[in-house]
Amino acid sequence: MKNSLIASGAVLLGLNAASVYFPQQNLTLAAQTVSAAIGMVLVFLAIRRQTPRKPEIAATSKPTTPPPRAEAEIVAFLALLQEHGRLVDFAKEDIAAASDAQIGSAARVVHAGCRKVLDEYFDIAPLQNAPEGSSLNLESGYDAHTFRLLGSVPEHPPYKGKLLHPGWIAQSVKLPRLTGTTETRPWPVLAPAEVEVSGN
């Protein structure tokens, strides 16, 4: 912009000097016209330079759509299983090369921690109170969702068999409260990264 102003001033000075030393009507008129045009340009440039620019708005990432509350609470519950029983660590670990003794030792930690969480947040009861191995008769109209039939199953009931597993049912659930989520990280953290800080 500085060079443009210098050039405009030089042109304006030259035209005015020529109109003084060579007083011809056409030259004088040309000098006045160009002077007016250059003056308008300079005024425009001055106004434009003084007008404050609008601050550029930094591009911000669009907030992530928050997950449904039920799914987020399930993740929070899984975080509790990880916190108390290291369940995620155990499930994600490659144990192919581990010995049975190592797996058994880790399983004790997982079992104790996960049982504590289940007892605190779920009221779980067996579906069948009969002991495993006892005989069981299923008449027509039995609740099919509460039984898994194995072996040679006839097309229609009644069914007579042996109870292999009593089954489980949740009678009440108390999911954990959602905490620590943000717009950019709407899902609960399963396990925070652990950092050992060295002393200064």
Least confident residue range of 52-61, 73-82, 172-181? 52-61
Angle at 175 (CA atoms; ends 75, 172), nearest 5 degrees: 135
Cβ neighbours of residue 163 under 8 Å, at least 6 residues apart? 128, 130, 131, 132, 133, 134, 135, 136
How many separate domains does the chain show? 2
pTM assigned to the model: 0.59
State yes or no: pLDDT of 113 exceeds 90. yes
Q: Do 106 and 16 share a domain, yes or no? A: no
Domain of 26?
2-50
Cis peptide leading into residue 166 (ω within 30°): no
- Residue 191 domain flag: no
Question: For residue 166, what are the CA distances in angstroms to 45, 132, 137?
Answer: 88, 7, 14
Residue 150 and residue 167: Cα distance in Å, rounded?
A: 14
Neighbours of 98 (CB within 10 A): 13
Look up residue 131 and give its amino acid. P
Q: Do 130 and 84 share a domain, yes or no? A: yes
- Residue 189 domain flag: no
Which pLDDT score is estimated for 146? 96
